[in-house]
Amino acid sequence: MRPTHFFKQNGTGYLFLAPWIIGILAFTLIPVFASLYISFSKYEMFGSPVWIGLDNYKEILTGDEQFAKSLGVTFKYVLLGVPLELAFALLIAMMLHKGIRGLRLYRAIYYVPSLFGGSVAISLLWRQLFGAQGLVNQFLAMFGIQGISWIATPETALYTIILLKVWQFGSPMIIFLAGLQQIPNDLYESASIDGAGRWAKFAKVTIPLLTPIIFFNMIMQIISAFQAFTPAYVISGGSGGPLNSTLFYTLYLYQKGFVSFQMGYASALAWILLIIIAAFTTLAFLTSKKWVHYEK
């Protein structure tokens, strides 16, 4: 087929596709490959990148204590925050599934934290709540308990951010609720006839049929948790303190890229994060064959 004839037949279609093609090239593919190239170079923004091969990666993996620290903080945040958030979301979804009056209103109210949970405003609010003179300590003072500055104490600072993560349960809760509504009542009635109690019906009927939903929510929340940045940045003032207890991986990446202007080093950190997320996702898919049940 001649090129002129091809464009006569398909030109209109490609014209409509042009904005999408330009957008994905300009804002996705070109930046991704540029970042990959920069990760193998020494680049400080105010000059040209200088190719140094694997030096950035060697430095990160063998001689960077902050990298190991930030990775440990992030793993702790993911491994604690995601299961707690999913468990809380499932609990609220099951409560709403009982057919209470005003379900739509409650569903909207519970979803609101997901809309604002990762915002700067909520992070500032969280900082005020858990500060030395915050609402939490004022509540404890009513019972004669002297509270501490939860966000300024290394042992508790990270847990306040994990609590913020759990508070953003609205999105997985909505998906759990949709999944619960798809489970046939016949199965619960059959289980009741067989003498199954509430716990048995939950363990033998609800959970197995919800495993695809649990799996989906888990993947989405793991990816989201690894990319968490705003809460740690706002609550710690961008330092990752106290004593690096809230030094998230993304915050350390930001410090290297936009505080120290080591863009090559920061790009290498970003690609390592991508590999870590891909490894977790792949592991989840491999293990899903053993515990996720799909209807045939």
Q: What is the pLDDT of residues 227-262, one digit of tens each?
A: 999 889 988 888 888 899 999 999 999 999 999 999
The percent of residues in the chain predicted with pLDDT above 90, rounded, is 61
- The predicted pLDDT at position 3 comes to 66
| 206 has a pLDDT exceeding 90 | yes
Confidence of residue 111 (pLDDT cuts 50, 70, 90): confident
| 104 has a pLDDT exceeding 80 | no
- Tell me which residue of 227, 221, 224, 222 sits closest to 254, measured CA to CA: 227
- The predicted pLDDT at position 82 comes to 96
Tens digit of pLDDT for each residue in 150-189?
Answer: 988 999 999 999 998 898 888 899 899 999 999 998 999 9
Q: CA 229 to CA 97: how far, in whole Å?
A: 33
Is the CA virtual torsion 227, 283, 94, 136 positive or negative?
A: negative
- The predicted pLDDT at position 44 comes to 86
| 37 has a pLDDT exceeding 80 | yes
Confidence of residue 274 (pLDDT cuts 50, 70, 90): very high
- Work out the average pLDDT over 88-111: 80
- The predicted pLDDT at position 1 comes to 60
- The predicted pLDDT at position 167 comes to 87
What is the pTM assigned to this prediction? 0.88
**Quick check: 142 and 200 in contact, CB under 8 A?**
no
**Quick check: 215 and 288 in contact, CB under 8 A?**
yes
Average pLDDT of the chain?
A: 89
- Work out the average pLDDT over 64-84: 95
Higher pLDDT, 218 or 13: 218
